[in-house]
Amino acid sequence: MIISVVSGKGGAGKTTLAVSIAQVLGAEFYDLDVDAPNAEYFLQPEFDATTAVTQPVPLFDEDRCDACGLCTRECRFHALYKILKSVYLTETLCHGCGLCELVCPQQAISYQDASVGTIRSGTSQRLGNRVHVGDLKIGSTRGTYLIGELVKQIDPAKLSVIDGPPGNSCAAVAAIKPADLVVLVVEPTPFGFHDMLQTEQILQQLGKDYLIIANKALDSTDVEKHFTGREKRPVFTIPLDDRYHRANLAGDILSLNFSEIHSGLKTVLDGKIAS
């Protein structure tokens, strides 16, 4: 079973809960927040393997290219442009789809590999589970591709937890797609609730089973006013508590340090996994 932990906005406590869920379930962990992975701060893995991830990008044979412009017109991502009699590539926009090579009448386009980032794998010193972290190359816009390569490593027969990117971008969707169950973490604030609704639309369109956890709630009234009249309500509410904040700053895993967090997560997740 694959569980993806997501949030409509950053700072909702997604990673905090993802590492706790992995601890409660004894699950393998995948940090797909490739722009800013930080789960290792809590899990403290000893990395024993690093894999370079590359993506093919077009290479032009200037002797064959007559700058007809067909490849620039067909490129869906506007990664190619023509100036006078030369074609140029904006590498950060390229998705390596191969269309330009396919349509080139002069067969002037081949492909070479460009660095996207790395995947680091190791064993958590704190939990003993395997941890996989995606590191996007600085300046690269190919986070979705790197996430896709990480997802290929997930064994669907194992219990795995994904820490997805925050928000509702293509990268966030890529981290949701492989999930059997999605845990949607929401701050019970107007801003947090607004972004949660956008994430819900994505989950519903993808046909995903999901549950909601309200985090950093001031009180039950604060949560209630956002969910009144809704069929889908939080299955677990975590209060805004200085103890949890201090534990986060210290790099502690909440479910290891607070029995109420452990038991609350275990109750809602065991029922889902059993079903």
Looking up residue 77, the CATH number of its domain turns out to be 3.30.70.20
pTM, entire model: 0.88
Average pLDDT, the chain: 92
1 exposure class (CB count in 10 Å sphere: 0-12, 13-18, 19+): middle
Across the range 81-85, mean pLDDT stands at 90
Q: Note whether residue 215 is domain-resident.
A: yes
Cα(178)–Cα(194) distance, integer angstroms: 25
Range with lowest mean pLDDT among 97-101, 185-189, 241-245, 271-275: 271-275
Claim to verify: residue 134 and residue 236 sit in the same structural domain: yes
Pick from 77-91, 200-214, 223-237: least confident = 223-237
Q: What is the pLDDT of residue 17?
A: 97
User: Do residues 154 and 252 both lie within one domain?
Assistant: yes
Q: Summarize the confidence of residues 136-152 as an average pLDDT.
A: 90
Q: What's the confidence (pLDDT) of residue 177?
A: 95
> What is the H or E stretch that residue 98 is in?
none
The side-by-side arrangement of strands in the sheet containing 234-239 is 45-60, 109-124, 130-136, 28-31, 160-163, 2-7, 181-186, 210-217, 234-239
Domain with 92, as residue range(s), is: 62-107
Judged against a pLDDT cut of 80, whether residue 274 lies above it is answered with no
Give the count of domains, the chain. Answer: 2
Contact 208, 176 (CB under 8 A): yes
pLDDT at site 37: 93
What is the Cα–Cα distance from 95 to 75, expressed in whole angstroms?
10
If DSSP codes are grouped into helix, strand and coil, which group holds residue 160?
Answer: strand
Q: Considering the chain, what percentage of its residues have pLDDT values greater than 70?
A: 99
State residue 135's pLDDT score.
96
3-state secondary structure 11-77: CCCHHHHHHHHHHHHCCEEEECCCCCCCCHHHHCEEEEEEEEEEEEEEEECCCCCCCCCHHHHHCCC
Q: Which residue has the tokens 């990117």?
A: 165
- Does 112 reside within a domain? no
Q: Name the band, by pLDDT with cuts 50, 70 and 90, for residue 109.
A: very high
**The pLDDT of residue 275:** 66
Has residue 261 got a pLDDT over 90? yes
Question: pLDDT, tens digit, for every residue of 166-190?
Answer: 999 889 999 999 999 999 999 988 8
Q: Based on the fold, state whether residues 76 and 194 are members of the same structural domain.
A: no
Q: Are residues 32 and 74 in the same domain?
A: no
- 202 and 93 housed in the same domain: no
CA distance 65 to 104: 9
Residue 71 has phi, psi (to 5 degrees) of -65, -35
Same domain? For 98 and 224 the reply is no
Residue 158 pLDDT: 92
Q: What confidence score (pLDDT) does residue 215 get?
A: 93
pLDDT at 268 over 70: yes
Distance between CA atoms of residues 111 and 109, nearest Å: 7
- Span of 37-51, 102-116, 126-140, 222-236 with lowest mean pLDDT: 222-236
How many whole angstroms separate alpha carbon 74 and alpha carbon 11? 39
Question: Is 68 within the bounds of a domain?
Answer: yes
pLDDT at site 161 = 98
Where residue 268 sits, what CATH number does that domain have? 3.40.50.300
